[in-house]
């Protein structure tokens, strides 16, 4: 049982190849981190898995617990269990957070079944308490006028409410001060479970001080160039991404 | 998938969303009309209507004069859409009724008419939250009733025909005064052949806690519905009136051309709420205007979802000092529809205030137009106007136009105008879909978000209905 990426190639609409053969296996129960410099294709990988229309998959597969996902629409992939915490979450003007999350949960129910409103709010409030979010937050429009930290916390809240099988967190640490980072990490750590796989995408090692990954991968120019344990992150922190150049020369 | 392919699919889905029928209103019963004025419009048609309705002479005269004005006035295609030329006035049927008087009890309403209104939920709503109901079927009201305690307080809620005969002393001084016959070609048409609609009088100081409601139903093909409503709120009184409308989807065009006049005397408050959901073959050309005396308030809360073409610019003449006028409007134009709506605010006294908030949504090839007119003359002081028009485009085929005309003379006034056009961006759509909402659900949520602040202005029962109608429009049959 895993989210399995096999020799994935993807291009932009203009034909520029961004992913040049990515292979990665994220089994349930494990937390993987992908690190890499800007432009290495980390964020593209997350968008391609989620089904963003701006990219064209030219070859390779992604399977969710053995099932091919490229035949599924964006929303089908979501309902099948893939969650993407966005680096830049969109605003949805006029739609309250409570209604938005409720609509997302409702979309997972069979036709004719309705969310139990009382249980829903109870659950929502308990998750919000863990993320130290004010109750007023439920009535605010999704991400409208939110600070960077509030947006990221909101992504984690949605993730906690939707209980996906596989979570992909794209640069969740960017734009967070240390206190916000700790809160976000608390939420993510609470989500770690034997039934869930996680992929953290980050530029810096900082996030990994708070969310300990089982495996660390380094991505450069559209490929995974190195894989290792948590110690790899520290190595990168110490030496930077310079070694990649040596790797390219070799 | 190429960009073109994906756009094509989006179009197909949008198309499916458009094709969902307005199931709730799309049914019809066989006609059994005792009175039928036939097709086409001549002075004989007017006489026929006068005879059937047993109109007093002053009304007959009023109608004939109006007919002449209607014939003399050109179709206003110099500023409005050419689609108006597709109305064939010779094919329309101007009066249809079974000759029955409106019933005070649903038990007395003919079974098929009763079934019509039950399917539309009217008797149920009356029991739940209304102070009085009038239900019009083609040319005449089939049912008209108001709670007894209101009658005891002197509230009058009857059809316009009953109003002009039984309450001439209150009715006649205001009839055709807020909207003169010659205001426009279609108000003249209505003045010539009007039938049905409400006459309401609220006595001094009486504040209605529950709304009054009228429901207008077209049942017959090629029919023209021309109801006429006059509401007079006497000093210090308050009333909310709500109207809803539906028609089945016929092959041929149907015409709805109403005139609504509101009179708010000193300190009175009238709120007029419309949820228009005509089928997509209806030309909906309506003239609505209110007059607000000293410290009085007239609010139009207007939602247009259906019809082929709607032209409607509710207005308020602020005639007394400190009078307030407001138009809150929502328009949704799907493919094959043109919502040409707006507001007219005429300041005619010092320290008067007007507010216009208009939100339009264009889907597919739907087109929405905002036309606003605000007039503040030079000799006045302390007048305020606020105008906001926001348009949301759902895809690249949609079209939206804004024609605001704000004429402010003198420098002792405050006006502000804001307009915006936005789209449901690809990013927003991707974000919502990544949370598990399909495209229709995501669009529906975005549209509901866009109009959310205005929907709150509608009474609860209507806002729920409104949300349901929008969901239907946006989601199509795919769940």
pLDDT in tens, B155-211: 999 999 999 999 999 999 999 999 999 999 999 999 999 999 999 999 999 999 989
Minimum-distance CB partner of A107 among B426, B427, B441: B441
Q: What is the pLDDT of residue B111?
A: 86
Q: How far is B36 from chain A (nearest CA, A)?
A: 45
* pLDDT tens string B311-321: 999 999 999 99
B194: Cβ–Cβ under 8 A, 6 or more apart, which residues?
A: B63, B160, B226, B227, B228, B259
Tell if the CB–CB gap between B1 and A53 is shorter than 8 Å.
yes
What is the residue range of A108's domain? Answer: 2-249
Is the sign of the CA dihedral B51, B52, B56, B60 positive or negative?
negative
Gap from B454 CA to chain A (nearest CA, Å): 10
Question: Is residue B478 scored above 60 in pLDDT?
Answer: no
pLDDT digits (tens, 9 = 90+) for B125-138: 888 888 889 888 88
Per-residue pLDDT at B400: 85
Flag whether residue B438 sits within 8 Å of chain A, measured between CB atoms.
yes
Question: What pLDDT does B129 receive?
Answer: 80
3-state class of B387 per DSSP?
strand
Q: Pseudo-torsion of CA B246, B250, B253, B259, nearest 10°?
A: -20
Considering only CB atoms, which chain A residues are within 8 Å of B1? Answer: 53
Q: Which residues of A touch B426 (CB under 8 A)?
A: 53
Query: Does residue B33 register a pLDDT over 50?
Result: yes
Per-residue pLDDT reduced to its tens digit, B276-329: 888 888 999 999 999 999 999 999 999 998 899 999 999 999 999 999 999 999
What's the mean pLDDT in B370-386?
94
Chain A hits for B445, Cβ within 8 Å: 92, 95, 99-100, 103
Phi, psi (degrees; rounded to nearest 5) at B428: -65, -40
Ordered per-residue pLDDT tens for chain A, 250 residues: 999 999 999 999 999 999 999 999 999 999 999 999 888 999 999 999 999 999 999 999 999 999 999 999 999 999 999 999 999 999 999 999 999 999 999 999 998 898 999 999 999 999 999 999 999 999 999 999 999 999 999 999 999 999 999 999 999 988 888 999 999 999 999 999 999 999 999 988 889 999 999 999 999 999 999 999 999 988 888 887 777 766 655 4
* pLDDT of B1 strictly over 60: no
Q: What confidence score (pLDDT) does residue B405 get?
A: 87
Q: Do B435 and A162 touch (CB under 8 A)?
A: yes
| Residues facing B291 on adjacent strands | B263, B317
φ, ψ (nearest 5 deg) of residue A141: -70, 145
Please list the residues that pair with B123 across neighbouring strands: none
Residues ≥6 apart with Cβ < 8 Å to A197:
A2, A3, A26, A27, A28, A29, A30, A31, A32, A165, A166, A167
Contact B433 A84 (CB under 8 A): no
Contact B1 A75 (CB under 8 A): no
pLDDT, greater one: B137 or B258: B258
* pLDDT confidence of residue B21: 38
Residue in A closest to B5 by C-alpha: A53
| Contact state of B434 with A84 under an 8 Å Cβ cutoff | yes
What's the mean pLDDT when you consider all of chain B?
88
Q: What is the pLDDT of residue B22?
A: 47
d(CA B395, CA B12) in angstroms, rounded, equals 12
For chains A and B, count residue pairs whose Cβ atoms are closer than 8 Å: 83
Residue B428 at interface with chain A, using a CB cutoff of 8 Å: yes
Q: Is B407 on the interface with A (CB under 8 A)?
A: no
| pTM of structure | 0.84
Best residue in A11, A85, A90 for a mutation probing chain B (most B CBs within 10 Å): A90
Would you say residue B6 has pLDDT above 60?
Answer: no
Output phi, psi for B342, to 5 deg: 175, -145
pLDDT beyond 60 at B12: no
B430 with A74: Cβ contact below 8 A = yes
C-alpha–C-alpha distance, residues B377 and A215, integer Å: 75
Q: Is there a contact between B426 and A104 if contact means CB atoms under 8 Å apart? A: no
Q: Do B433 and A78 touch (CB under 8 A)?
A: yes
- Mutual orientation of helices B185-193 and B57-72 as an angle, nearest 10°? 150
Residue B39: name the closest of B92, B1, B89, B110 by CA.
B92
Q: Flag if A162 and B479 touch (Cβ within 8 Å).
A: no
State the nearest Cα–Cα gap between A61 and chain B, in angstroms: 16
Distance from CA of A69 to the nearest CA of B (A): 13
Q: From the list B431, B436, B453, which residue is nearest A107 (CB)?
A: B436
- Cβ–Cβ under 8 Å, residues A166 and A49: no
CATH number of the domain encompassing residue A7: 3.40.50.300
Which residue from B minimizes the CA distance to A101?
Answer: B435
**pLDDT computed for residue B322 by the predictor:** 98
- How far off is chain A from B449, nearest CA to CA, in Å? 4
- What is Dmax (Cα atoms) for chain B? 71
**Cβ–Cβ below 8 Å for A75 and B438:** yes
Q: Which residues of B touch A83 (CB under 8 A)?
A: 434
Best residue in B436, B444, B446 to probe A by mutation, most A CBs within 10 Å? B436
Question: Higher model confidence: residue A245 or residue B350?
Answer: B350
H/E element, B429? helix B426-434
- Separation of alpha carbons B276 and B304, rounded Å: 5
pLDDT band of residue B458 (cuts 50, 70, 90) is confident
According to DSSP, the β-strands at B254-256 and B224-225 are parallel
Rounded to 5°, the CA angle B81-B188-B299 comes to 75
Helix or strand run (H / E) with residue B164:
helix B160-166
How confident is residue B4, by pLDDT bands cut at 50, 70 and 90?
A: very low
- Lowest average pLDDT, out of B15-29, B247-261, B328-342, goes to B15-29
Asked if A103 and B441 come within 8 Å (Cβ–Cβ), the reply is: yes
Distance from CA of B4 to the nearest CA of A (A): 12
- Name chain B contacts of A75, Cβ cutoff 8 Å: 433-439, 442
Facing residue for B437 by CB, picked from A53, A90, A103: A103
| Distance from the A98 Cα atom to the nearest Cα atom in chain B, whole angstroms | 13
User: Is residue A248 exposed (0-12), middle (13-18) or buried (19+ Cβ within 10 Å)?
Assistant: exposed
| Alpha carbon of residue A113 to chain centroid | 29
pLDDT for res B70: 98
Q: Beta-carbon neighbour count of residue B374 at 10 Å?
A: 23
B431 closest CB neighbour out of A83, A90, A103: A90
Residues 2-31 of B with CB under 8 A from A: 3, 6
Amino acid A86: pLDDT: 97
pLDDT class of B337 with cuts at 50, 70, 90: very high
Measured between CB atoms, which of B426, B437, B453 is closest to A75? B437
pLDDT at B99: 84
Say if residue B2's pLDDT is above 80: no
Contacts of residue B425 in chain A, CB cutoff 8 Å?
90
> What is the total count of domains within chain A?
1
- Find the largest Cα–Cα distance for chain A: 61
Of B261, B240, B266, B262, nearest to B349 by C-alpha is: B266
Q: Which residues lie across from B304 on neighbouring strands?
A: B276, B331
Mutate to test the interface with A, among B431, B452, B475 (most CBs of A within 10 A): B431
Q: What is the three-state SS of A11-44? A: EECCCCEEEEEEEEEEECCCEEEEECCCCCCHHH
Interchain proximity A94–B437, CB inside 8 Å: no
Interface of A to B at Cβ within 8 Å reads 13, 50-53, 73-75, 77-79, 83-84, 86, 89-95, 99-101, 103-104, 107-108, 111, 141, 158, 162
């Amino acid at each position: 049982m895993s989210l399995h990426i096999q020799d994935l190639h993807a291009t932009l609409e203009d034909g520029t190849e961004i992913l040049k053969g990515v292979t990665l296996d994220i089994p349930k129960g494990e937390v993987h981190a992908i690190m890499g410099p800007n432009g290495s294709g980390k964020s593209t990988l997350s968008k391609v898995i989620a089904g963003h229309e701006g990219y064209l998959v030219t070859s390779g597969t992604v399977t969710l617990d053995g099932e091919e996902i490229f035949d599924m629409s964006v929303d089908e992939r979501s309902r099948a269990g893939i969650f993407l915490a966005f680096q830049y979450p969109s605003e949805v003007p006029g739609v309250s957070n409570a209604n938005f999350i409720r609509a997302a949960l409702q979309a997972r129910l069979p036709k004719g079944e309705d969310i139990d409103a009382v249980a829903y709010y109870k659950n929502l409030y308990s998750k919000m308490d863990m993320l130290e979010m004010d109750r007023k937050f439920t009535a605010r429009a999704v991400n409208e006028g939110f600070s960077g930290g509030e947006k990221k916390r909101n992504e984690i809240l949605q993730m906690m409410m939707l209980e996906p099988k596989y979570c992909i967190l794209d640069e969740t640490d960017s734009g967070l001060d240390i206190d916000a980072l700790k809160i976000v990490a608390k939420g993510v750590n609470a989500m770690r479970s034997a039934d869930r796989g996680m992929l953290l995408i980050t530029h810096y090692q900082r996030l990994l001080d708070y969310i300990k990954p089982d495996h660390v991968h380094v991505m450069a120019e559209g490929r995974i160039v190195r894989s290792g344990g948590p110690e790899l992150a520290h190595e990168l922190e110490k030496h930077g991404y310079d070694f990649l150049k040596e790797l390219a020369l070799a | 998938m190429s960009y073109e392919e994906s756009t094509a699919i989006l179009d197909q889905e949008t198309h499916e969303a458009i094709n969902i029928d307005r199931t709730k209103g799309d049914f019809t019963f066989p006609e059994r009309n005792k009175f039928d004025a036939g097709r086409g419009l001549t002075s004989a048609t007017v006489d026929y209507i006068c005879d059937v309705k047993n109109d007093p002479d002053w009304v007959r005269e009023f109608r004939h004069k109006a007919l002449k004005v209607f014939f003399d006035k050109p179709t206003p295609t110099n500023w409005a859409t050419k689609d108006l030329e597709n109305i064939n006035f010779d094919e329309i049927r101007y009066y249809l009724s079974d000759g029955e008087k409106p019933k005070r009890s649903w038990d007395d309403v003919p079974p098929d008419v009763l079934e019509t209104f039950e399917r539309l939920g009217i008797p149920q709503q009356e029991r739940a939250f209304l102070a009085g109901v009038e239900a019009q079927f083609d040319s005449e009201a089939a049912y008209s009733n108001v709670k007894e305690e209101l009658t005891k307080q002197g509230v009058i809620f009857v059809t316009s025909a009953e109003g002009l005969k039984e309450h001439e002393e209150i009715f006649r001084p205001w009839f055709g005064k807020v909207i003169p016959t010659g205001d426009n070609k279609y108000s003249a048409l209505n003045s010539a052949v009007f039938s049905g609609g409400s006459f309401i009088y609220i006595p001094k100081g009486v504040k209605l806690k529950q709304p009054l409601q009228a429901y207008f139903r077209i049942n017959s093909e090629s029919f023209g519905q021309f109801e006429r409503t006059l509401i007079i709120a006497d000093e210090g009184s308050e009333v909310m009136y709500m109207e809803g409308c539906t028609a089945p989807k016929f092959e041929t065009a149907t015409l709805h051309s109403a005139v609504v006049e509101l009179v708010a005397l000193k300190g009175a408050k009238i709120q007029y709420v419309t949820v228009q959901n005509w089928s997509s073959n209806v030309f909906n050309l309506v003239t609505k205007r209110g007059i607000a005396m000293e410290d009085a308030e007239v609010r139009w809360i207007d939602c247009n979802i259906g019809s082929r073409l709607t032209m409607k610019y509710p207005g308020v003449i602020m005639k007394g000092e400190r009078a307030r006028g407001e138009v809150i409007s929502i328009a949704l134009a799907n493919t094959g529809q043109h919502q040409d709506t707006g507001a007219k605010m005429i300041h005619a006294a010092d320290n008067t205030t007007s507010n216009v908030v208009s939100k339009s949504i264009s889907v597919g090839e739907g087109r929405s137009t905002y036309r606003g007119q605000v007039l503040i003359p030079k000799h006045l002081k302390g007048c305020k106007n606020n105008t906001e028009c926001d348009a949301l485009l759902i895809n690249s085929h949609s079209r939206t136009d804004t024609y605001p005309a704000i004429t402010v003379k003198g420098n002792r006034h405050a006006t502000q105008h804001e307009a915006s056009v936005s789209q449901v961006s690809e990013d927003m759509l991707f974000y919502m879909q990544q949370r598990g909402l399909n495209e229709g659900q995501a669009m529906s949520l975005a549209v509901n978000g866009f109009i959310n602040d205005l929907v709150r202005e509608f009474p609860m029962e209507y806002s729920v209905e409104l949300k349901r109608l929008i969901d239907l429009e946006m989601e199509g049959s795919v769940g």
